[in-house]
A and B are shown apart, each in its own frame.
Chain A
Amino acid sequence: MTENTIKTVKIQKIINECKDVKTLVFNMKISKTENYITPKPGQFVMVWVPGIDEVPMSLSGCDNNGNWSITVKNIGECTNAMYNLNIGDYIGVRGPLGNHFKLINQSSKEIFLIGGGIGMAPLKFLSNQLTKMNTKHTIIEGVKIEDDLMFKDYFQEVITNNSEVHYCTDDGSYGIEGVASDIFKEMVNKFNKNDLSNLVIYSCGPEIMLFKLFQICQEYKIEFYASLERIMRCGSGLCGLCALDPLGLLVCKDGPIFNSETLKEIQDFGKYQRDFTGKKIGID
């Protein structure tokens, strides 16, 4: 068994997060003889719903007993099938795949986790890790409307030691009215210019949002990491569908997390992706 082999496991727990969003928990410590790889925040898995499809999903959590979780939003054929799974149903899992968020454990750093919609999933995992490390961080969760807010109870319960969570909605139905990138920019402006080099941003969400955050971070010279998403078949560096022009970097192997230095060289970032045929199409 390797990280690229499919392991079929039963769903052990399902958590309703909000409208159309559920967290599925499954155990990956199949037997004592298998070599178990502990996933890190930012890594993803290929999730197979037997008879339907297999898609890449970020891990939203992992505990010491080998229980991994994914948080799925019902938006397409495969995620719909996943959303409707029951406890005891089998899914196939390959992973952990890809790189991870580079953790910075320095009290002098101001850490921001900025997520848009279901992009909050890997950031929840990251927040959990940072909390375990006693590292203070600020979360900005941006969603369209109040009904889309996720992990609110979790954050309320778990977040400690000066960490804080800011919610924003496009329509102002909850928290601050506006998009996450604008809220972040307002926060940046409140910082003393000399302190900006202490900021570290980890982000995941719609690529348009990531691109805006990237631009802000470039402007203010802020350390920035974004988790990208692309269509992929293999998740193991072979099919090439997730290649980013012009460097040929692969989201599945070199990513999904990229820093500003790399992102500024990627012409596709914020603009293009490939569809299942390999044809280059725009990002909307």
Chain B
Amino acid sequence: MLEVNLSGLKLKSPIILASGILGVSFSSMRRVFDAGAGAVTTKSIGPKPRKGYKNPSIIEIYPGTFMNSVGLGNPGIKEFISEIKEIKKYNIPLIVSVFGNTNEVYLDVAIKAENAGADAIEINISCPHAEVSSIGIDKGLTFEIVKFLKEKLTVPLFVKLNPNVTNIVEIALAAEKGGADGVVAINTLSALKIDVNTKRPILSHGSGGLSGKAIHPIAVKIVYDLYKVLKIPIMGCGGVDSWQDVVEFFLAGASAVQIGTAFYKGTEIITEINHGITQYLKDNDYKSINNMKGLAHQFKTQEVPDFD
């Protein structure tokens, strides 16, 4: 009942592990899959090992709302290939998140991931606290990288969108025009937390990306806006920790939903969410997720009144 076909990826559940969370070892990703995820996304992998920023790099600031500035710490694609191969031994649908400093480096990492067995590539052009964010804030650069990668890659290509922009819709459209097979909305929101006693920013990098509960309504609004104009699937991402949050994304127009931060509660939350969605489908006599996709759009919302 929960099966979805996401740009050719057949998933047992529309819930996908979001990039950056538990995505370093095959074992933790397998655990998320076993708990009920339809697919898992790895931590963003680059061309070489990278330490990222020092601690504090991940902190909770309100219950369920976190801030991080990991700074793309990762073991590098060469080291990571063994983890990809290990995951594929268990037939787990795998999305490898990649980043680089040039289009060619993105391609090199993506091809290596594809050859190792990745079922799809997600490009991180939006990390708000590292230099790669420059691509994701520009529609021209976004179009170029997507087009460049699509020419060489065989597997589906997803683009994770940066919400820290003036007009996210035009960047999503540029990704679609470039040939992207889907977009993920949204990455974390640029934020800052200052400790009042020591009077300094807590994260070692200063600013970081906000994730979790607080950003869910922002992500829903963006998915809602994107659904009006995009033809390619949208993966809703941001602040999901209940089945209601997931259903909201579907009603706004998402085809699948990614979960990350909420795993601080444990991987079992996926099991609960899957149960909740199944019950919702039954209660509404829906045969599949598709039956509820975009339903919020049928309701007319009030127009801005004339200025008088």
Q: Which chain A residues have a beta carbon within 8 Å of chain B's beta carbons?
A: 2, 4-6, 8, 46, 48, 50-51, 53-55, 90, 92, 94, 233-234, 236-241, 243-250, 253, 274, 276-280
Q: Is B301 an interface residue (CB 8 A)?
A: no
22 of the cross-chain contacts (CB-CB < 8 Å) are A5-B60, A5-B61, A6-B59, A8-B195, A54-B55, A54-B56, A92-B198, A233-B55, A233-B70, A238-B260, A241-B24, A246-B26, A247-B27, A248-B30, A276-B73, A277-B51, A277-B52, A278-B24, A279-B49, A279-B76, A280-B75, A280-B79
Residues of B within 8 A of A5 (CB): 59-62
Q: Which chain B residues have a beta carbon within 8 Å of chain A's beta carbons?
A: 21-32, 43, 49-52, 54-63, 66, 68, 70, 73-76, 79, 195, 197-198, 200, 202, 204, 260-261, 263-266
Q: What does DSSP make chain B's interface, helix, strand, loop or mixed?
A: loop
Q: Which residue of B lies closest to A253 (CB)?
A: B266
Min CB distance B63 to A, Å, is 5
Cα-based distance from A139 to B304 in the complex (angstroms): 74
7 more A-B residue pairs beyond the given contacts A236-B58, A237-B263, A248-B29, with a C-beta to C-beta distance below 8 A: A4-B60, A5-B60, A238-B264, A239-B21, A276-B51, A277-B75, A278-B25
Contact indicator B31/A248 (Cβ below 8 Å): yes
Contact indicator B25/A240 (Cβ below 8 Å): yes
Min CB distance A231 to B, Å, is 10
Cα-based distance from A276 to B49 in the complex (angstroms): 10
Q: Which residue of A lies closest to B22 (CB)?
A: A240
Contact indicator B60/A2 (Cβ below 8 Å): yes
Within the complex, which residue of A8, A48, A246 is in contact with B55, where a contact is CB–CB below 8 Å?
A48
Beyond A5-B60, A236-B60, A277-B74, is A243–B54 a contact (Cβ under 8 Å)?
no
Cα-based distance from A84 to B305 in the complex (angstroms): 64
Contact indicator B27/A238 (Cβ below 8 Å): no
Min CB distance A282 to B, Å, is 14
Residues of B within 8 A of A48 (CB): 55-56, 202
Min CB distance B270 to A, Å, is 13
Cα-based distance from A280 to B25 in the complex (angstroms): 9
Residues of B within 8 A of A240 (CB): 21-25, 28, 43
Contact indicator A248/B25 (Cβ below 8 Å): yes
Q: What does DSSP make chain A's interface, helix, strand, loop or mixed?
A: loop
8 nearest interchain CB pairs? Answer: A248-B31, A4-B60, A54-B55, A248-B27, A234-B58, A279-B75, A278-B24, A8-B197
Cα-based distance from A8 to B52 in the complex (angstroms): 24
Min CB distance A36 to B, Å, is 15
Cα-based distance from A243 to B25 in the complex (angstroms): 7
Residues of B within 8 A of A246 (CB): 26-27, 30
Contact indicator B66/A238 (Cβ below 8 Å): yes
Residues of A within 8 A of B49 (CB): 277, 279
Contact indicator B58/A277 (Cβ below 8 Å): no
Min CB distance A34 to B, Å, is 13
Min CB distance B61 to A, Å, is 7
Contact indicator A277/B60 (Cβ below 8 Å): no
Min CB distance B56 to A, Å, is 4
| Max count, chain A CB within 10 A of own CB: residue among B25, B29, B63 | B25
Contact indicator A239/B204 (Cβ below 8 Å): no
Cα-based distance from A258 to B11 in the complex (angstroms): 34
Cα-based distance from A5 to B264 in the complex (angstroms): 13
Within the complex, which residue of A241, A245, A276, A277 is in contact with B27, where a contact is CB–CB below 8 Å?
A245
Cα-based distance from A50 to B68 in the complex (angstroms): 16
Cα-based distance from A92 to B49 in the complex (angstroms): 29
Contact indicator A278/B75 (Cβ below 8 Å): yes
Cα-based distance from A236 to B26 in the complex (angstroms): 19
Min CB distance B239 to A, Å, is 14
Cα-based distance from A50 to B56 in the complex (angstroms): 9
Beyond A233-B58, A278-B74, is A53–B204 a contact (Cβ under 8 Å)?
yes
Within the complex, which residue of B68, B195, B260, B263 is in contact with A6, where a contact is CB–CB below 8 Å?
B195
Contact indicator B59/A248 (Cβ below 8 Å): no
Cα-based distance from A243 to B105 in the complex (angstroms): 28
Min CB distance B269 to A, Å, is 11
Contact indicator B27/A243 (Cβ below 8 Å): yes
Within the complex, which residue of B23, B31, B68 is in contact with A247, where a contact is CB–CB below 8 Å?
B31
Cα-based distance from A253 to B263 in the complex (angstroms): 11
Cα-based distance from A114 to B62 in the complex (angstroms): 38
